[in-house]
Amino acid sequence: MSEEKIQFNENDFDPVNRYIDEQSAIRRSKSFWANAKSISLILIALGVLAILIAYAFYIYNKKDYLVKVEQAKSVAYERGISGSRNQISQLQTKVQNLESESKSKQLLIDGMESKNQSLNSDYQDLQKDFNKSRDEVANLRTSMLENKEVKFYQKELDKIKEQAQKDNSSVKIDTYIFTQIPHKLPNGQKVKVVSRWRFKDSNQEKPSYKDCYIDFERSDLRMLNLGTKQSDINYENYYSDRLKLDKSVFSEIKNSKCNI
């Protein structure tokens, strides 16, 4: 076999390869930027979504905060109203207590005024009784001095005094004046309250001694001596056992009926 020479042509594809590489690089670059744009848009969308979510959460929290604030205000308002009501109730209670105390004091004052009027009335009655007793004593003394027997004894007394002066001696004769006031004891017994005035001289204007006693007008019960104005009543068991009365009864009689 004869050797045949193989003939071939060599082609240079480097420009084509470079072109292909450049196109590949361009396509890769476009793909990268496209992907980058997509990722960026996604990231932006995610960011906007996050902002919207955060804003919505903020609005939700703000609304909840406002509700809590309103609730706190309502609770504080209710507490304030409750406290004010309690204070008002306490003040009303104090006012009622003060009004009650004022009414009690007014009743006490009215009672004291009533007692004072009663005491004034009693004092006026006692004053009238005293004036009446004084007038009766004066009338009794006048009648006694004008009595014929008294005048006779007065003349005889004057004679005795004249004879005593002649004989250089002195005669002292006490004169007594009695006043009787009928009275009824709380146990129903009727007695006489007797005031006794003693004069050392018939010409004496004022008595030198005054005392008082009670005449029970009973033979089985002796007279009770009430004494003078300054002395105390000697109220023995003898009287309390029989009369069944307290000593204060006779103290009142002494103050109101005795002309001492």
DSSP states along 75-137: HHHHHHHHHHHHHHHHHHHHHHHHHHHHHHHHHHHHHHHHHHHHHHHHHHHHHHHHHHHHHHH
**What are the DSSP calls for 13-38, one per residue?**
-HHHHHHHHHHHHHHHHHHHHHHHHH
Contact (Cβ atoms closer than 8 angstroms) between residue 194 and residue 183: no
Q: What is the pLDDT of residues 96-112, one digit of tens each?
A: 888 888 788 888 888 88
**What is the identity of the amino acid at 57?**
F
Torsion angle, alpha carbons of 159, 161, 162, 166, to 10: 130
Question: Please, what is the Cα angle at 129 between 191 and 110, to 5 degrees?
Answer: 110
Q: Which strand (E) or helix (H) includes residue 145? A: helix 14-146
Q: Please give the biggest Cα pair distance in the chain.
A: 236
Which pLDDT does position 149 carry in this prediction?
56
Sign of CA dihedral 227, 233, 238, 244: positive
Predicted local distance difference test score (pLDDT) of residue 258: 92
Within 10 A of 96 (CB to CB), how many other CB atoms are there? 10
pLDDT for res 1:
47
Six-digit token string for 57: 């959460």
- CB-CB contact of 180 with 192 (8 Å): yes
Question: Measured at the alpha carbon of residue 151, what is the angle toward residues 148 and 157, in degrees to the nearest 5?
Answer: 145
Q: What is the pLDDT of residue 4?
A: 58
- What's the CA dihedral at 226, 229, 234, 238 to 10 degrees? 10
By the 8 A CB rule, do 212 and 220 touch?
no
pLDDT tens-place values along the chain, 260 residues long: 455 556 656 666 677 677 777 777 777 766 777 777 778 888 888 888 889 888 887 777 776 667 777 777 777 777 777 777 788 888 888 888 888 887 888 888 888 888 878 787 877 877 787 777 677 766 666 665 565 555 665 676 677 667 666 665 555 667 788 889 999 999 999 999 999 998 887 677 788 899 999 999 888 889 999 999 999 998 999 999 999 999 999 999 999 999 88
The region that residue 168 occupies, defined by phi over 0 for left and psi between -120 and 50 for alpha, beta otherwise, is: left
pLDDT value of residue 193: 94
Which pair of structure tokens corresponds to residue 53?
């979510």
Structure confidence at residue 60 (pLDDT):
76
